[in-house]
């Protein structure tokens, strides 16, 4: 399944990854599937997503590459999106 929106913020300095990601989360439509590529686990962003009723799926590709999938429709967040690198 392909993401509706994809954002790669690897290597950006704090708080830019969070700010850019929150902008996308706030604009998400119910059927959007957003994939964030980031260099670490974005715990504050995950808490913000939860507060906005947005589910997520965390995939760790390497020590410095994480793919986080977001959707307002939880059934779209299948662990197969991670390609075997499912974390939570």
Domain boundaries, the chain: 5-82
Closest CA to 9 of 17, 57, 30: 17
Residue 84: the pLDDT is 74
Position 86 confidence tier, pLDDT thresholds 50, 70, 90: low
Quote the CATH superfamily of domain 5-82: TusA-like domain (3.30.110.40)
pLDDT tens digits, one per residue of 1-57? 678 999 999 999 989 999 999 999 999 999 999 999 999 999 999 999 999 999 999
Residue 88: the pLDDT is 61
Beta pairing, strands 33-38 & 5-8: parallel
């Amino acid at each position: 399944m392909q993401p509706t929106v994809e954002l790669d913020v690897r290597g950006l300095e704090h708080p830019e990854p969070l700010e850019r990601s929150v902008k996308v989360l706030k604009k998400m439509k119910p059927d959007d599937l957003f994939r964030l590529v980031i260099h670490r686990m974005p715990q504050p962003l995950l808490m913000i997503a939860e507060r906005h009723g947005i589910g997520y799926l965390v995939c760790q590709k390497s020590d410095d590459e994480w793919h986080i999938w977001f959707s307002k429709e939880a059934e779209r967040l299948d662990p197969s999106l991670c390609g075997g690198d499912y974390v939570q």
